[in-house]
A and B are shown apart, each in its own frame.
Chain A
Amino acid sequence: MDEMHKPSRRAFLRGSAAVAAGTVAGAASAQSADPLITDVQDWASITGAGVDETPYGMPIEYESHVVRRNVEWLTASPISSINFTPIHALEGTITPQGCAFERHHSGAIEMKKDDYRLMINGLVDKPLVFTYADLERFPRENHVYFCECAANTGMEWAGAQLNGVQFTHGMIHNMEYTGVPLRALLNEAGLGAAGDLRDKWVYVEGADASSNGRSIPMEKALDDVLVAFKANGEALRMEHGYPVRLVVPGWEGNMWVKWIRRIEVSDTPTESREETSKYTDVLEDGIARKWTWVMDAKSVITSPSPQMPIEHGKGPLVISGLAWSGHGQITRVDVSKDGGITWETARLGKQGDTKALTRFYHDINWDGAPMLLQARAMDETGYVQPTKEQLRDVRGENSVYHNNCIQTWYVNAEGIAENVEVS
């Protein structure tokens, strides 16, 4: 290549400076000296908080917008309801437990470890009762997994409805779990009595009034299901199942039974309320799918988004988002700025874990023109995240659950983003 036409580092720096001077507020465009620099600030003079002030800290008050939020009209009672993780404001992949979404059917119950009991019964050689202390004596594993509510994005089936990624995609969290493989507990009770395991099931239920009982095929139970008692390094939060919950990698959040108290080996699924009346997906002809356990590949741009407008003007812009798949690892995420006419492949923040949130970035130089932003995830099976039209062509608009469609944000020339649907 002709040396003259290679962009030199020096030219690049000059170019960047010119852009910055024209658009960026604050220090970069200051005409006079910045008093935040020239004046001695209090924090550089007097002292801060002592180490004995906060035994267990909360985020600084300036981050008070990074909180769970609910939408009252969605449910009849806040006791059997949902709230939303502020994914618009988070980065990386690990969800802070304190703002990780909640979904309860009869409220978040308070149980001491000493009061905790886990029963294993049914087609086992010896029905067992474990205490919490017993569970801590089994060999442990650590894994990062996403927990996505089956209803995440469910309000958006018939159109663009809620104006914020927290509300359209925030029924999700991603934590590092410590626990015991369910197979180890089943082995302790003995599966000889169950005979051929291929057609057997486990029925799991919680200690709360709703019980949230669900049937899981034995193959999954013996594969990667965890009985977890720690998340992100510490005990589970009360609202996430303290002291013990089920972790069912890649599968719909409803099956991640909290406050788990009983595991029954059975020769048939129980067909409980949570797998008949709920968590079944009505198709256009009125027939419903049942046992739609896996959460398919999905992604969303978290910034820019309706709660994260572009406030810095033209120039360098970080497009940041999340991708995940219940089938395994995310292998690729594409981003479109024109509503799906052209796509560019984004980069992954780092290669994500299997069945875990994966961060992607697409760094652009925004010229101030309106954009129709989309992201499209691919997983290791080759599955490509579909559009909402593709999903509706197969399923209609009333399946409630499992909406993994490509999301579109319309970003106008002022940098304001809206939730839209496009042709």
Chain B
Amino acid sequence: EREGAFGLGREALVEELAAWDVDVLPDGRGLPIGTGNALDGEELFADRCAACHGDFAEGVDNWPVLAGGFNTLADEDPVKTVGSYWPHLSTVYDYVYRSMPFGEAGTLSPDETYAIVAYILYSNDLIDDEFELSNKTLGSFEMPNKDGFVIDDRPEAEYAAWSAEPCMSNCKDEVTVTMRSVFLVNTPEDGGSESV
């Protein structure tokens, strides 16, 4: 036995690992064998997804928009979708297979998931309707915003500048109120609805 180990727990079995270890890495490792295209995905999406996400993945009411929003990330109101924002296609497969549809998670087969992911790509004009998405093609698919992320740079961009001894008196000439929340109507009456 290893130093400091207690001999607690028991070895996980192959079937148990297969049941729970379903996460997919950006390079496609972890994908199950399967295939699907947008034509198949359209029907599945209409049946399983469109009630919340819309027929064209455009979103219904406040539910998430999955398609569009290209070139809006620097706008006043960015539209962050699978197409405009997500860096890796692996995440789309992983998340849909594991956690969607909302309220019925874990009910899609690998082939159904490939087809739905293909339809989401198609809705974003990133593939044509005959493109076969599979465990062989998904890991190498390049998303439009793959280079849109930087690793946390607060230490360089912020911490150095905001670590000086702070001003204690005469810190500014005057102060004026520039915005008041009471002019907005967003705070619930009587301090908000009680959570159940």
Contact = CB atoms under 8 A, between A and B. Distances in A.
Interface string A375-390: 0101001111010001
A128 B26 CA distance: 25
B6 to A, nearest CB: 6
A203 B86 CA distance: 19
B8 A138 contact: yes
A296 B23 contact: no
Contacts of B61: 76
A413 to B, nearest CB: 15
B74 A340 contact: no
Interface in A75-102: 75-77, 79-80, 83-84, 102
A166 B192 contact: yes
A244 interface: no
Interface stretch (A17-25, A64-72, A140-148, A309-317): A64-72
A120 B9 CA distance: 10
A271 B164 CA distance: 35
A131 B158 CA distance: 44
B182 A372 contact: no
Contacts, number: 269
Nearest to A139: B6
Interface stretch (B34-42, B115-123, B170-178): B170-178
Interface in A30-62: none
A361 B174 CA distance: 26
Contact of A209 (B99, B162, B180, B186): B99
A267 B25 CA distance: 10
A106 B102 contact: yes
Contacts of A376: 166
A164 B95 contact: no
Nearest to A155: B186
A285 B150 contact: no
B191 A203 contact: no
A346 to B, nearest CB: 13
Contacts of A67: 194-195
Contact of A276 (B52, B87, B162): B87
Contacts of B164: 384
Contacts of A264: 21, 23
B85 interface: yes
Contacts of B175: 338-341, 372, 422-423
Interface stretch (A218-226, A286-294, A351-359): A286-294
Contacts of B168: 334, 342-344
Question: What does DSSP make chain B's interface, helix, strand, loop or mixed?
Answer: loop
B88 A271 contact: yes
Contacts of A307: 191
Contacts of A256: none
A211 interface: yes
B131 to A, nearest CB: 22
B11 interface: yes
A421 interface: yes
Contact of B150 (A155, A289, A421): A289
B195 A70 contact: yes
Contacts of A397: 76
B23 A213 contact: yes
Contacts of B9: 120, 128-130, 134, 188-189
Given A129-B10, A343-B169, A394-B158, A421 B62 contact: no
Interface string A262-286: 1010101011110011001010111
Contacts of B11: 126-129
B183 to A, nearest CB: 9
Given A166-B191, A213-B23, A277 B91 contact: yes
Given A128-B10, A270-B23, A341 B171 contact: yes
B17 interface: yes
Interface of B: 2, 4-6, 8-12, 16-17, 20-21, 23-27, 52, 61-64, 73-74, 76-78, 80, 82, 85-88, 90-91, 94-95, 98-99, 102-103, 105-106, 148-154, 157-159, 162-164, 166-172, 174-182, 184, 186-188, 191-195
7 contacts: A155-B186, A277-B91, A277-B95, A286-B148, A289-B151, A340-B175, A422-B178
